[in-house]
Amino acid sequence: MTTKTAPWIAIGLCLLAAMLEGFDIASMGVAAPKMIPALGLSKPEAGWAFSASLFGLLFGALMAGPAADRVGRKPVLLVAVVAYGLFSLATAFAGSLGPLLGVRFLTGLGLGGAMPMLIAMASELASPRRRAFTVGLITAGLPMGGALVGLVARSDLAQADWRVIFIIGGVAPLLLAGLLVLLLPETRAKSADDVVTGEALHALFGRERLATTASLWIGYGAMALVLHLFLNWLPSLLVERGLQGRDAAAMSVLFNLGGAAGGMLAGLAIDRFGSRWPFAAIFAALIAALFVLAGAAPAMMAAMSFAAGFLIMAGQFGLYAVGPDYYGPSVRGVGVGAAVSAGRLGSVFGPLAAGQLLGAGISSGQVVMATVPIVLLAAIAAVGLSIWGRKDVSPPAPLS
């Protein structure tokens, strides 16, 4: 590291950045019950609006990894945080579908660039014995931020004007950027010669690497699809089940609080027991919970929203926690960035699919049930990764 900042302070800054990212990602979902009628959006149009930032997330993650392995993690993270702050603020002033799509895509570029940096930096700041927990803690910042935006959405001010959510979500990252400049250390020094195309390609697609890459990409993508479907549509799905707007926002808070707990406990379990059996237990319980949630009575929705968040994010963030271990330091940004990009591709389709299904008259319970096969696919990838995955493979020697 290039500064004397204590590791726990640096990890705390990464956690705060992740929380603000989670605040913005969840903001569209909690603002939706007010925003959709205010802008005159149909449900399919709302699905496109939700997915616009997720398209940006895809491209942001794809670009950030190679850039960070060349110029350092910290500069890329700073640019990403400033970008998602500025364009989240601009979301508050989008008056129709077209401008909304544009600013959400640009917000997504920043959001997509931030998370691979946070995962890589957390992995590099942590001690080996607590690596999965530390990455789990950082990724748990996403649902912590989601819970915070749910609380903001329940306030009288946000109930009166949905734009308040995006103003808060835009100003806070810009303030954080100043702290990052002053206090955040670099965890990998700039080295333009350190990453070459052949090395990165070998890390992703070399001999005995395809199964690892495919498992990570499928697992990240399938779980991101399910996670972002719920993040964006859960409040609206619950309103359709008869809940009031404030109560639906409260269920979003519980979903995200469950997710924060699930992410951290998944990291602890993986550090202690390895990934195979924790993943098997998480995904089996998640499939059962989705069956219950699909037909849950109003009295059960609070418990099931918490349980669904706990298990979905335990699976997603557990995969995030183990991902960096499969790449050496010189290609970790590329490897993690590529896996997160695959996840972002999955996340694009979740809100779109839900919007199309609801627009076609499918019930909210049927939308929940439609996620079960996707979770099963993620389970196969996650458990399979623990069987055939290969960690920290060194690049081949250069040809003479």
CA distances from 400 to 52, 193, 199, 395, 396 (A): 47, 18, 15, 15, 12
Distance (Å, rounded) from C-alpha 187 to C-alpha 168?
A: 29
Distance (Å, rounded) from C-alpha 74 to C-alpha 117?
A: 8
Intervals of the chain under pLDDT 50: 1-3, 192-196, 393, 395-400
CATH 1.10.150.130 matches 7-189+197-388? no
What are the pLDDT digits (tens) for 160-176?
899 999 999 999 999 99
Instruction: Kindly write down the DSSP assignment for every residue of 70-85, as one continuous string.
Output: HH-HHHHHHHHHHHHH
Q: How wide is the angle at C-alpha 355 spanned by C-alphas 367 and 173, nearest 5°? A: 105
Phi (first) and psi of residue 105, to 5 degrees = -65, -45
Delimit the domains of the chain by residue range: 7-189+197-388
CA distances from 181 to 8, 50, 104, 248 (A): 16, 31, 25, 38
- Torsional class of 208: left (φ above 0), alpha (ψ -120 to 50), beta (otherwise): left
- What lies within 8 Å, CB to CB, of 71 at 6+ separation is 190, 192
Token output for 294: 């699909």
Burial 187-215 (b: 16+ CB within 10 A, else e): bbeeeeeebeeebbebbbebeebeebbbb
Burial 349-361 (b: 16+ CB within 10 A, else e): bbbbbbbebbeee
Instruction: Kindly write down the DSSP assignment for every residue of 355-376, as one continuous string.
Output: HHHHHTT--HHHHHHTTHHHHH
Computed on alpha carbons and rounded to an integer, the radius of gyration of the chain in Å comes to 20
Token output for 338: 């590529």
Distance (Å, rounded) from C-alpha 342 to C-alpha 147?
A: 25
Evaluate whether 62 touches 341 at the Cβ level (below 8 Å): yes
pLDDT at position 195 is 47
Longest dimension (CA), the chain: 70
Distance (Å, rounded) from C-alpha 4 to C-alpha 172?
A: 25
Evaluate whether 54 touches 344 at the Cβ level (below 8 Å): yes
Closest CA to 60 of 308, 345, 273: 345
Q: Is the pTM of this model over 0.75?
A: no
Evaluate whether 218 touches 378 at the Cβ level (below 8 Å): yes
| Angle (deg, nearest 10), helices 276-294 and 301-322 | 150
pLDDT at position 345 is 80
Phi (first) and psi of residue 355, to 5 degrees = -60, -40
What torsion do the CA atoms of 313, 314, 319, 324 make, to the nearest 10 degrees? 100
Evaluate whether 271 touches 133 at the Cβ level (below 8 Å): yes
Run of H or E residues at 352: helix 332-359
What number of residues does the chain have?
400
Closest CA to 316 of 396, 235, 221, 240: 221
